[in-house]
């Protein structure tokens, strides 16, 4: 399969996987869907951000399992599973950070492999798995583009 066709199919499968993972978001068990913050006097609805976080987790688990089990396969379909789950997780991960920003309006600073979140004078640093998956995906892309292709008949002479 040509590289252009391969990555078009990877994007199509990642869209399908993202839709499937987002459809599982209502299944997340959440004890308190509404949270009242006394310092600001605002009630926040956590259903959507927690559901998207759960969807990203499912996509991440598919990526981890597929890269451990079938990453060295020469079959394009198996590699499509790995790459489409990576694209799906990357999208859902940063959609989750966008929803965190949209709901609470914290200050987000993207650092190498980390994200610093500051909200109401409290700062936390999180490992950004999305950046790690981006690096793995780009390495796989580079490796696929660098594979030597067989010469055509006219080049053999």
Residue among 122, 98, 93, 127 at smallest CA distance from 111: 127
* Range scoring the smallest mean pLDDT among 9-23, 49-63, 122-136, 142-156: 142-156
Classify residue 71: in a domain, yes or no.
Answer: yes
| Cα–Cα dist 153/157, whole Å | 7
Cα–Cα distance, 89 to 73 (Å, whole number): 21
> Is residue 157 over pLDDT 60?
no
Task: Indicate whether 131 belongs to any domain.
Answer: no
Number of H helices, E strands in the chain: 5, 5
Number of CB atoms found within 10 A of residue 78's CB: 14
Number of domains in the chain: 1
Quick check: pTM over 0.75? Answer: yes
Structure confidence at residue 41 (pLDDT)? 74
Q: Could you read off the pLDDT of 27-39 as tens digits, one per residue?
A: 888 777 777 666 6
> Higher model confidence: residue 29 or residue 91?
91
Q: Is residue 146 part of a domain?
A: no
pLDDT of residue 146: 83
CA distances (Å), origin 43, targets 29, 38, 110, 120:
19, 9, 27, 15
d(CA 122, CA 141): 39
Q: Are 124 and 97 in contact (CB under 8 A)?
A: no
Q: Considering the domain boundaries, does residue 87 fall inside one?
A: yes
Q: Which domain holds residue 37?
A: 3-105
């Amino acid at each position: 399969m040509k590289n252009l066709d391969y990555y078009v199919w990877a994007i199509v499968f990642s869209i399908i996987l993202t839709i499937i993972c987002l459809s599982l978001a209502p299944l997340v068990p959440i004890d308190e869907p509404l949270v009242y913050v006394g310092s600001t006097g605002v009630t926040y609805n956590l259903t959507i951000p927690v559901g998207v976080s759960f969807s990203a987790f499912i996509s991440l688990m598919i990526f981890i399992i597929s890269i451990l089990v079938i990453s060295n396969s020469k079959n394009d379909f198996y590699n499509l599973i790995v790459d489409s789950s990576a694209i799906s997780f990357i999208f859902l991960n940063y959609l989750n950070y966008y929803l965190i920003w949209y709901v609470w309006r914290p200050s987000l600073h993207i650092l190498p492999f980390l994200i610093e979140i500051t909200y109401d004078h409290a700062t936390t640093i999180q490992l950004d798995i999305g950046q790690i998956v981006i690096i793995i995906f780009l390495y796989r892309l580079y490796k696929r583009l660098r594979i030597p292709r067989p010469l055509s008949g006219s080049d053999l002479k």
